[in-house]
Amino acid sequence: MPYILNTPEDIEKMLKEIGLSSPEELFNHIPKETKIDDLSLIPERKSELEVSNTLNALAKRNKSINKLNSFLGAGLYDHYVPCALKHLVYRSEFYTSYTPYQPECSQGILQAIYEYQSFICLLTGMDVSNASMYDGATSLAEATSMSLRINKKNTIIVAKSVHPEYREVLDTYFKHSDYSIIEVPYNNDGLIDTNALETLLENNISCLIIQSPNFFGLIEDIHRVSTMIKDKNILLIEVTNPMSLALLKEPKQLGVDIVCGDGQPLGNNLCFGGPTFGFLATKKEYLRQMPGRIVGKTEDSEGNVAFCLTLQTREQHIRREKATSNICSNESLNAIAAAVYLALLGKEGFKNAALYSLNNTHYLIKRLKEIKEVNFPFKTLVFNEFAWRINGAREILKKLEEKNILAGVILDKFYPELKDCILSCCTEKKTKKEMDDFVDTLKEIIHG
């Protein structure tokens, strides 16, 4: 039997020790009304080779983006992952270990996570980071809970230009509670409507959630927004793409209180949406309200440097219903991948990944501007993605697909008012040829 080492003789000996004669007797005390008699609908076991063949056949029914010319982004981005990364992250000393509750035999994991926390602090300018959350959307929900605990107010303001799926998750987390969520519209430039925001800044507002670069790729003027809410005891939560922080100003310097988002761009693959990881970082005054695990540096009995999980009195296994969150398992391996990615790319490499993404995106915008049928719903102060409009967008996307081009995400499924708008993204992996092919093919489609 695969993965089971006890031989029939072992089993017999062990049963005898326990005083039983068959393994079924181990389950004698289970009410027979609850027992399964028929498992016939579950497949028979297969050899490794057969399963491998079955899965290879299934895999062939997917067409992954390495076989397509893809401009899909919208929260997950196809950045280049150096080969060395998987050789390190997939060392079984990392991936087959549990949460490092026993620090003496988990120093490697603990140090790697401590380095991860440090990397996140360096990118965001924040004082403290936790050891990871599930993904960007849940890290936002947790950041929001944090804010509600910190100032004990009851209303959440969220910009409509925050990722629609993140807002959906936020809604799921809070709709059954006494908290209310207000959405702030975007203005004609696709940015948070500060006039509308101004009218919403009442006493009961706990936090303002803004994303930058926002869902349309646009860079928000976070500093302006943070100035607006200053002295109102409202926390500013920013959702961001960590890759953009290679170039953009540290959120803390802009007046952000909690920064969160999906860490996928840092060395994690698309994986059909998961696993990725969420990051969450904040100022040190909010440390005790931070959810999730945290690694700290300390020393051992001899005074050597050592690491361990710390401040666990915030967590569910100690505090139970009074914990800052219910999170237990997080996405450690993905967070470790982020640390390894940043270490491998280093200052120059990381900056270049972001800079080439930026250049490609603006090159594609420039080329699309050649087409008079294409227009842009917003200004284009963007990082790595942008919205554009063309009549009959759905039909055009289909025709591009026939030429193996995935031009982007249709926006009206999230924003009905943005009819015929498409969100397209470029990473450093896009070649000039791929971008030119896209634009040239689009021209052909339009002009027949």
Partner 1 sequence: MDRKLIFDKPPTSYNNTDFFPPSLPKINNAEEIIPDKFLRKELPLPSLGELDVVRHYTNLSRLNFSVDANFYPLGSCTMKYNPKLNEDIAQKNEFLLLHPYQDEKYTQGALEVMYELNRILCEITGMNQFSFQPSAGAHGELTGMLMIKSFHSLNKEKRYKVIIPDSAHGTNPASSAMCGYETVVVKSTPSGLVDIDELRKKTDSTVAAMMLTNPNTLGLFEEQILDISEILHKKGALLYYDGANFNALMGIAKPSLMGFDVIHLNLHKTFSTPHGSGGPGAAAVGVTKKLCDFLPVPVVDKKGNKFYLKYDIKHTIGRVKSFYGNFLVILKAYIYLLRIGRKGIRRVAYNSVLNANYIKEKLKNHYIPASDKKCMHEVVFSCVKQKNRGASALDIAKRLIDFGIHPPTMYFPLIVKEALMVEPTETESKSTLDNFIKVMIEIDKEIDTNIERIKRAPSTTPVGRVNETKAARFPCLRWEKPGE
Kindly state the helix (H) or strand (E) to which residue 258 belongs, with its residue range.
strand 258-262
Contact with partner 1 (CB under 8 A): which of 157, 235, 339, 390?
339
Q: Is 311 in the site for partner 1 (CB under 8 A)?
A: yes
Residue in this structure with the two tokens 């009961």, named with its chain if needed: 204
Q: What secondary structure letter does DSSP report for 178? A: S
- Binding window for partner 1 (CB under 8 A); candidates: 150-158, 184-192, 202-210, 424-432: 424-432
Q: Is 330 in the site for partner 1 (CB under 8 A)?
A: yes
Question: What b/e readout covers 73-92, taking b as 16+ CB neighbours within 10 angstroms?
Answer: bbbbbbbebeeebeebbeee
Residue 389 and residue 372: Cα distance in Å, rounded?
A: 11
φ/ψ of residue 426, rounded to 5:
-125, 135
Residue 77 and residue 354: Cα distance in Å, rounded?
A: 12
Nearest to 117 by CA among 315, 299, 263: 263
Burial class (CB in 10 A: 0-12, 13-18, 19+), 194: middle
Q: Taking CB under 8 A as the criterion, which residues in 182-221 touch partner 1?
A: 219, 221
Residue in this structure with the two tokens 């607006």, named with its chain if needed: 228
Q: Taking CB under 8 A as the criterion, which residues in 87-146 touch partner 1?
A: 87-88, 90-100, 102-109, 111-115, 117-119, 121-122, 127-129, 131-132, 134-138, 145
> 201 or 273: whose CB is closer to partner 1?
273
Smallest separation (angstroms) from partner 1 to the CB of 399: 13
Smallest separation (angstroms) from partner 1 to the CB of 295: 7
Distances 268 to 76, 241, 356 between C-alpha atoms, Å: 9, 13, 18
Contact with partner 1 (CB under 8 A): which of 21, 198, 204, 297?
297
Q: Is 255 in the site for partner 1 (CB under 8 A)?
A: no
Question: What b/e readout covers 217-227, taking b as 16+ CB neighbours within 10 angstroms?
Answer: bbbbbbeebbe
Nearest to 385 by CA among 436, 426, 433: 426
Beta bridge partners of 385: 425
Q: Is 58 in the site for partner 1 (CB under 8 A)?
A: yes
Smallest separation (angstroms) from partner 1 to the CB of 199: 26
Smallest separation (angstroms) from partner 1 to the CB of 187: 18
Q: Taking CB under 8 A as the criterion, which residues in 274-293 touch partner 1?
A: 274-275, 277, 287, 293
Cα Rg of the chain (Å, integer):
25
Q: Is 152 in the site for partner 1 (CB under 8 A)?
A: no
Q: Taking CB under 8 A as the criterion, which residues in 351-410 touch partner 1?
A: 351-353, 355-356, 358-360, 362-363, 381, 383, 401, 406, 409
Contact with partner 1 (CB under 8 A): which of 8, 152, 231, 321?
321
Smallest separation (angstroms) from partner 1 to the CB of 210: 14
Chain centroid offset of residue 376 CA: 27
Q: Is 166 in the site for partner 1 (CB under 8 A)?
A: yes
Q: With contact defined as beta carbons under 8 Å apart, do 222 and 107 qualify?
A: no
Q: Is 181 in the site for partner 1 (CB under 8 A)?
A: no
Contact with partner 1 (CB under 8 A): which of 307, 386, 388, 438?
307
Smallest separation (angstroms) from partner 1 to the CB of 298: 4
> 292 or 377: whose CB is closer to partner 1?
292
Q: Is 329 in the site for partner 1 (CB under 8 A)?
A: yes
Contact with partner 1 (CB under 8 A): which of 230, 232, 319, 394?
319
